[in-house]
Structure 1
């Protein structure tokens, strides 16, 4: 049967619309930031899944815990795609086979990534899994993270073709503990990672989620007071020790998988040098000095090494790894939290609740601006279900 001119015209319009859509998708995926997001998310999830499966198989992690860790990382990365500009859909992040496999295996993740908020960045989830699997020895945790970072590295799409890394990987890790001078005992080591999130509004969203939902309330207050009043919120009891380490991304002076031309000994403070064996050279570990802005807010913490103040440096509180590690310390040790000495500004309970409310308002506003469909009341994703 011969087609009429109308049928031909209608079909041509459909084909034209389809072609334009494909071209738009093509153009979007030609944007380096989108390509880096997709590459990073895909490789992050593949590496994390292999690590968790191996740990479960070896009996280092229960199946339920491993499942919850991976679901949380998957949900958070898909959420980050939903608030990205432009939006990056799950089927664009995951390869075809993985998308169908994972969406069938974890349907709630794909149903809730754009309606329920995560509670922490994906690398923080991975760090928590590493600590549960490896224990709290600083050296062993860092060794494991370096291995995983190396496996997660992708070639970034930009003008510098030699640059590689992963957009979801934190490069700064913090470790802290409390030493009780009376009974001469120290707590476990508690770890945190710097914020691994791109984009100003996206960073604000994640920081506000951490402040409103995840961190110990006193750490959240310290972030609020530091951001809006440039003052100290409270003082820790004596002998809280904090160390931070910067892990260089793969590709710094080398290509992925090769050995770097670096000294065999990693830079460390003298107090730690005797207790640690030499670390791998594939990724150099640098014992870094803290940014002065966080140090100025919590001057009573014993930092190693002593930070250098940066008077003109500004970034929003909540980015640094110390927030997470100190929050972990307070959450696990209520007696330490009870010994915090609030500044005059925080002695009024209404001031404390008001600060968190301001964070919550900014969170809702940013989510609205980025088109996140959270409904009237924000809900958070529970990976254990």
Structure 2
């Protein structure tokens, strides 16, 4: 038998990753539909958003993995098309604002209750057990969760998960999209301070320092182990860390989403954070640079953007 060539091995790995994407995408859709039945009708907006985000990532996958390949049961496919038509119509021209696992997190928070941190973590852990069937199946799920809150009795807790994208192109696209459309403007400003190569912009510094009253704690989703903030999160948000080496791509960590949710709701903290950046004239220049980079990354795919970010829809009965 002739030896396996490097090209053949690469093609095999690509096919394997394609099948893992298809399987995990199907499982996430099934889980979102299942959970939406346990919550008020407003939760259908999360199913709609997750469908669009998953279909978009499938569309830019190499090779592409369209909705009809992800959902192989025709009855289920037709039912989803009838209930959630917009994701099917717009996944190939409009960008999602968030990656799919953020929608999963929001749904589980709704089902479990925002105050039940351990219950939320356990539900996510169980879901990851189902998605993580082998060493190579690190596709479409997050590895860490962050919990941010004000250090007072019975605080409101705000959750975020790390990016669930696979591959540099998808990751850069979703960080750019979240900066431009989803995250709180101060969190977006902090992330936009850094270039894709992790160097700091010379003309703009939007980094923030969270007040001492704010707690920001991250955990591994599979084991529950508490994690120190990485150097990137220390640079972005002033979080104290002993990590001197780990500098992950800016915006990939769970802290960005968690801190964003905190600042959107806790106005007193927001005012303290905003004090440094009220009139930064170079913020728009940094935003334009992110948009330019986002369009550049999209050119590496078959996606033809209509310059709109997708607005999730609620089912009306």
TM-score by length of structure 1 reads: 0.71
The offset of 1:232, in angstroms, is 6.6
Kindly report which structure 2 residues correspond to 1:1-385, keeping only aligned pairs within 5 A, or say none. 31-53=15-37, 55=38, 61-62=39-40, 64-97=41-74, 98-136=76-114, 137-155=116-134, 163=135, 165=137, 167-179=139-151, 187-227=155-195, 228-229=199-200, 233-248=207-222, 284-299=223-238, 301=239, 307-311=241-245, 313-340=246-273, 343=276, 346=277, 348-375=279-306, 377-384=307-314
**Structure 1: unaligned runs, 5 residues or longer:** 1-26, 56-60, 156-162, 249-283
TM-score by length of structure 2 reads: 0.85
CA deviation profile, 1:295-335 (whole Å, cap 9, x unmatched): 23332x4xxxx632233x44320000000000000001122
The offset of 1:166, in angstroms, is 5.2
Structure-2 separation of matches of 1:173 and 1:142: 8
Query: Is the CA contact (8 Å cut-off) linking 1:71 and 1:383 kept in structure 2?
Result: yes
**Structure 2: unaligned runs, 5 residues or longer:** 1-10
Query: Is the CA contact (8 Å cut-off) linking 1:192 and 1:325 kept in structure 2?
Result: yes
The offset of 1:130, in angstroms, is 1.3
CA deviation profile, 1:154-205 (whole Å, cap 9, x unmatched): 45xxxxxxx36551111100001113xxxx5564010000000011111110
Query: Is the CA contact (8 Å cut-off) linking 1:293 and 1:310 kept in structure 2?
Result: no
Q: Equivalent residue of 2:225, what SS? A: strand
Report the CA distance shift for 1:132/1:96 in structure 2 as closer, same or farther (over 3 A): closer
